[in-house]
Amino acid sequence: MALAESEFIWKNGELVPWAEATTHVLSHSLHYGSGVFEGIRCYKGDEGSNVFRLVDHMERLINSCKIALIPVTYTAEELVAATVETVKANKLEECYVRPIVYRGYGTMGVDPTNAPVDVAIAVWPWGAYLGEEALEKGIKAGTSSWRQRSNNAIPPYMKATASYMNSILAKLEAKAHGYEEAVMLNEQGYVAEGTGENIFMVRDGIISTPPVSDGILPGITRDTVIQLACDLDIPVIEESLTRSDLYTADEVLFTGSAAEVTPVASIDEREIGGRGPITKAIQERFFEMVAGRHAEYADWLYPVA
């Protein structure tokens, strides 16, 4: 599926036409994965468009730079302003937002010190990441034979471009086996996350999700779902999960900025059953909230206007 191109991309402080936002083939990050990024969504509300948890995403981006020792000169506030400028310039009511900070062209050794740090923010319309139907029916998932990188390898805590080689291996393997998404286990064999999503399960009315210490990205949608569940009086616990926990769960769901709240219909041919009542309640509240229909979450919506 081709990308729905927009008009302008913000690059190092300026809006440039989409086709001109290019980079050299000898860019450091292209060879060594020395970049960090974010994935964010802008939703249309009843009173204009809002970028969902924009400040939190930009703060996580700055934290990823910190872990990766990438000396970014923009502050989270400046990147927030640049995002709003980019969404406005492209006149989009709803879009996905992809900020990236990467080591550019300037040196070919592994030592990145002499490579410049480039920053870009692209926006484009992007529908349901795992398909519109998946939001209702759920997806088929499979446990990957590839393990999630440990906290002392490429830390899952930072959203690094390099991490996605791990995700790509797992995603291609899952697809080859007829699954739509992979479940990554960590080196200890506990459930970590999807290739671009966090994971939750429901049993006897209680929601469980792996703790960040099990080696996952501290997802902003994960945090959102925990908050929504608490507000719906559904208990949430963070605990290490095994694949057998998932196989025997009442409901399993993936969360992410791209994937939003996607139910899981089966894992490794064990039927879970698609969107159950708790997933449905959370999903409904999530979509109402991002559309601005719950005043109590107004702080999470950053207005574009």
Residue 196 engages ligand PY5 in binding (rule: CB under 6 A): yes
Q: What residue is closest to ligand PY5 based on CB?
A: 39
Tell me the closest approach of the beta carbon of residue 107 to ligand PY5, in angstroms.
Answer: 28
| Nearest alpha-carbon partner for 44 in 53, 52, 55 | 52
Residue 257 engages ligand PY5 in binding (rule: CB under 6 A): yes
Give backbone dihedrals phi and psi of 41, rounded to 5 degrees, phi first.
-125, 145
Tell me the closest approach of the beta carbon of residue 260 to ligand PY5, in angstroms.
Answer: 9
In angstroms, the first-to-last Cα distance of the chain is 31
Stretch that binds ligand PY5, among 82-90, 133-141, 253-261, 289-297 (CB under 6 A): 253-261
Active site residue 159: yes
Is the CB of 105 or the CB of 169 nearer to ligand PY5? Answer: 169
- Count interface residues toward ligand PY5 (CB under 6 A): 15
Give the torsion through C-alpha atoms of 223, 258, 261, 170, to 10 deg. -100
Is the CB of 115 or the CB of 183 nearer to ligand PY5? Answer: 183
Residue type present at position 94: E
Farthest CA pair distance, the chain = 56
Phi-psi region at 286: left, alpha or beta (left = phi > 0; alpha = psi -120 to 50) = alpha
Q: What's the rounded Cα separation, in Å, for the pair 156 and 278?
A: 28
Tell me the closest approach of the beta carbon of residue 38 to ligand PY5, in angstroms.
Answer: 7
Residue 256 engages ligand PY5 in binding (rule: CB under 6 A): yes
Q: What's the rounded Cα separation, in Å, for the pair 183 and 199?
A: 8
**Binding pattern for the stretch 213-252 against ligand PY5, x by CB under 6 A and - elsewhere:** ----x-xxxx------------------------------
Both tokens of 88, joined, read 């406005």
SS3 148: coil
Tell me the closest approach of the beta carbon of residue 208 to ligand PY5, in angstroms.
Answer: 16
**Size (the chain), residues:** 305
Point out the catalytic residue in the list 159, 171, 175, 280.
159
Q: What's the rounded Cα separation, in Å, for the pair 57 and 97?
A: 10
Residue 27 engages ligand PY5 in binding (rule: CB under 6 A): no
Q: What's the rounded Cα separation, in Å, for the pair 155 and 269?
A: 30
Kindly state the helix (H) or strand (E) to which residue 146 belongs, with its residue range: strand 139-147
Residue 166 engages ligand PY5 in binding (rule: CB under 6 A): no
Is the CB of 70 or the CB of 158 nearer to ligand PY5? Answer: 158
Is the CB of 199 or the CB of 304 nearer to ligand PY5? Answer: 199
Tell me the closest approach of the beta carbon of residue 68 to ligand PY5, in angstroms.
Answer: 15
Enzyme catalytic residues = 159
Residues lying near ligand PY5 in the complex (CB under 6 A) are found at 39, 193, 196-198, 217, 219-222, 255-259
